[in-house]
A and B are shown apart, each in its own frame.
Chain A
Amino acid sequence: MTSQGIILSGLDGDRTWRLADYVKRGGYDALRKIIAEKIPADQIISEVKKSALRGRGGAGFPTGLKWSFMPRAFPGAKYIACNSDEGEPGTFKDRDILRYNPHSVIEGMVIAGYAMGCERGYNYIHGEIFETYERFEEALQEAREAGLLGNNILGSDFSFDLFAHHGYGAYICGEETALLESIEGKKGQPRFKPPFPASFGLYGKPTTINNTETFASIPYIIREGGDAFLALGKPNNGGTKLFSVSGHVNKPGNYEIPLGTPFSTLLEMAGGVRGGRKLKAVIPGGSSAPVLPASVMMDCTMDYDSISKGGSMLGSGAVIVMDETTCMVKALERLSYFYFEESCGQCTPCREGTGWLYRVVHRIENGLGRPDDLDLLNSVTANIMGRTICALGDAASMPVQSFVKHFGDEFAFHIEHKKCLVPKDVQHEGSKIYVA
């Protein structure tokens, strides 16, 4: 965990997640300021807009704009939801935020509740990090006891309560409407949009959903001002961002750095490619983002625009590094299996198509590939993409398309020679248990 930023900085010691520790770091100052100065909701939203904070969950949608979509005069309940259902392979930043700095999320959500006129929020936490869920529950209890949550927060007439809801093993719940269905106690099957959550969200009420890291950025923006946050990054890409670096690096972990930092710098921070081997490919934004060959990646800076220009997506900031020992067919096979396993089963192209993709890639990996398989993969992915209710269909297709596009030779070799370009023992060596 290395930080040049605001969320994971100053986290020394083993009690950083406690309220007292957070307050010592300036925690809840932003909320106190809002309450004391009776800052109007509009002003908070415009401050967030000014910061150019973009959703940290993957889509990169401007947060301030999203907040302004909430109907102001809606009679009855409105909700805030935090998306901590972090299950995109490669992504593990929200877990660290919740483990080490949960109150930043709580404070961010309370401020969001204030700004959007909501009295209730839910934080949806990935089921597999259950210990983190339990810690977050404790943090909520601390905040409640300190009058920072619940009725009449800090003695004001503003009330907001926040609860934790755990997932239990379904990647799809990271999709915001599936997440809402899941909070409602149902299967996590995404909803067709429109209507969007801002008008028909949790329990059919207006709801705003943001990522953990997004909420955690809010206290800083309010405390230090939107401009200060913007200045930490680059125009249109405000602030610092957490990057989860995994795979073939010497020091896997989270790195909080200004947006716009060159990839090469990030790679260096992560200790460089493991064992001094050669970089082969990088998935720069979580497993759903298109893979990029080393040459393209080394020219990118880590921000929404640059990665997009490079042909991929910054997504959730999950950087999966693969070195020369990696068999790209095997890598894709594992990802395709993941999407096949995690498809919710609701719409036809994804339910049927993810299994098809996996089976074809599995065949190729196992020496049963056919000459027209690559065309078939491209055609099937084209039939899935843009035809489903949610983005899982696209998420399953983009890796396939990009792996085939950038590493087509390797796939062709597999099909033709019934074996891998990278010798088995080299692969074996490269994927051995490695702990920094």
Chain B
Amino acid sequence: MLSPESLKKIDREIAKYPPDQKQSASMGALRIAQEEKGWLASETIEFVAEYLGMPAIAVYEVASFYNMYDLAPVGAKKISVCTNLPCALSGGVHAADYIKKKLGIDFNETTADGQFTLKEGECMGACGDAPVLLVNNHRMCSWMTEEKIDQLLADLKK
């Protein structure tokens, strides 16, 4: 179900917690599973549950509660743009509009070629870097002017 590398990473997460608290690793394990699979199918969630000795619904609760987990397939590159107030005051919404125009999609849509999915993000804790966006949850891109967005999309398409 998951690669040996992913399982090794999950084991490292498990080791962070007391031996009788394996379920603490559920967030890390789901993140690792999503990195490998792109999104969290129910089989993946069930596998993680079994691996951690948890009821499947308990893991599903976690996967559905935190909004960086994707319970449906997304494009190869998921771009989440923060449009919250502090970012919006420095162009967060404009940056999102620009990306929408460039990709021809709205929030929660994926380009026809499956390359890009666009999401509206909530506060990323980087308001001073506005406009801010995340690529595939983990790569933060700051001060996204139109030029930098052009550059980013070009790089990502490669």
A contacts, CB < 8 Å to B: 77, 86-92, 94-95, 120, 122, 126-131, 163-171, 182-188, 203, 244-248, 252-254, 287, 318, 320-322, 326, 331, 334-335, 338, 341-342, 344, 430-435
The closest CB in chain B to the CB of A162 belongs to: B16
When A184-B21, A334-B85 are in contact, do A129 and B27 touch as well, CB less than 8 Å?
no
When A128-B68, A246-B90, A431-B93 are in contact, do A94 and B125 touch as well, CB less than 8 Å?
yes
Q: Is B152 an interface residue (CB 8 A)?
A: no
On whether the beta carbons of B18 and A246 are closer than 8 Å, the reply is no
Q: Which residues of A contact B83 (CB under 8 A)?
A: 334
Q: Which residues of B contact A342 (CB under 8 A)?
A: 122
Q: Which residues of B contact A183 (CB under 8 A)?
A: 24
B contacts, CB < 8 Å to A: 16-18, 21, 23-28, 30-31, 52, 54, 58, 61-62, 65-69, 83-91, 93-95, 98, 121-131, 134, 137-140, 143-146
The residue among B88, B127, B131 with the most chain A CB atoms within 10 A of its own CB is B127
On whether the beta carbons of A431 and B134 are closer than 8 Å, the reply is no
Q: Which residues of B contact A170 (CB under 8 A)?
A: 65-67
The residue among A89, A203, A248, A318 with the most chain B CB atoms within 10 A of its own CB is A89
**Bound Cα distance A435, B92 (Å):** 11
Task: Please give the distance in Å from A122's CB to the nearest CB on chain B.
Answer: 8
The closest CB in chain A to the CB of B138 belongs to: A130
**Bound Cα distance A195, B75 (Å):** 44
**Bound Cα distance A318, B94 (Å):** 23
On whether the beta carbons of B138 and A184 are closer than 8 Å, the reply is no
Q: Which residues of B contact A326 (CB under 8 A)?
A: 89
Q: Which residues of B contact A253 (CB under 8 A)?
A: 128
Q: Which residues of A contact B85 (CB under 8 A)?
A: 89-90, 247, 287, 320, 331, 334-335, 338
Task: Please give the distance in Å from A424's CB to the nearest CB on chain B.
Answer: 13
Task: Please give the distance in Å from A11's CB to the nearest CB on chain B.
Answer: 15
Additional A-B contacts beyond A128-B125, A434-B91 (18; CB < 8 A) = A77-B18, A88-B123, A90-B85, A94-B125, A122-B16, A128-B124, A130-B137, A163-B16, A168-B27, A184-B23, A185-B25, A246-B86, A246-B89, A247-B85, A287-B123, A318-B127, A344-B65, A433-B144
The residue among B21, B139, B144 with the most chain A CB atoms within 10 A of its own CB is B21
When A91-B125, A334-B85 are in contact, do A185 and B95 touch as well, CB less than 8 Å?
no
Can you sample 12 A-B contacts with CB below 8 Å?
A128-B125, A129-B124, A130-B137, A168-B31, A169-B68, A184-B23, A247-B89, A248-B89, A252-B128, A334-B85, A338-B84, A344-B65
**Bound Cα distance A170, B128 (Å):** 20
Q: Which residues of A contact B23 (CB under 8 A)?
A: 184-186
**Bound Cα distance A246, B130 (Å):** 9
The 5 closest A-B CB pairs, nearest first, are A433-B91, A169-B68, A128-B124, A169-B67, A185-B26
The closest CB in chain B to the CB of A161 belongs to: B16
Task: Choose one: B58, B86, B145; the contact of A435 (CB below 8 Å).
Answer: B145
On whether the beta carbons of B126 and A431 are closer than 8 Å, the reply is no
**Bound Cα distance A43, B126 (Å):** 37
**Bound Cα distance A188, B67 (Å):** 12
Q: Which residues of A contact B87 (CB under 8 A)?
A: 246
Q: Which residues of A contact B127 (CB under 8 A)?
A: 89-92, 244, 246, 252, 318, 320
Q: Which residues of B contact A254 (CB under 8 A)?
A: 128
On whether the beta carbons of B62 and A171 are closer than 8 Å, the reply is no
**Bound Cα distance A249, B99 (Å):** 25
